Amino acid sequence: MTSEVNADLTAKSDNAWKLRVYLFGGLVGLAVGLLAAYFYARVSEENESGQPNRIKTMDAMKLAVALLSVVRQITDLGAKRGD
């Protein structure tokens, strides 16, 4: 019976760190996204027309590749063991 209780407690603690990681990642993503949107809107306001410029497809692709690179680097941080 004690081994069942220990296994249950271990499973709950394993899930607790995952929840913290998800919450932290979500909050950081939200903060970075809001900050990027704020700066984009601010620069667009300072532009002569006052309206945001249309984002070109190539610029969107460059941004997507840069974001994938950041995600890859974060994944590599999680894969390191004792370095």
In the chain, where are the structural domains located?
2-79
Closest CA to 45 of 33, 53, 54: 53
4 has a pLDDT exceeding 80: no
Closest CA to 25 of 82, 77, 80: 77
- pLDDT for 51 equals 78
Check whether 38 has a pLDDT greater than 70: yes
Quickly tell me which residue has 């939200």 as its tokens: 30
Cβ 74 vs Cβ 67: under 8 Å: no
Does 26 score more than 80 pLDDT? Answer: yes
pTM: 0.68
pLDDT of residue 10: 66
pLDDT: is 12 or 45 the higher one?
Answer: 45
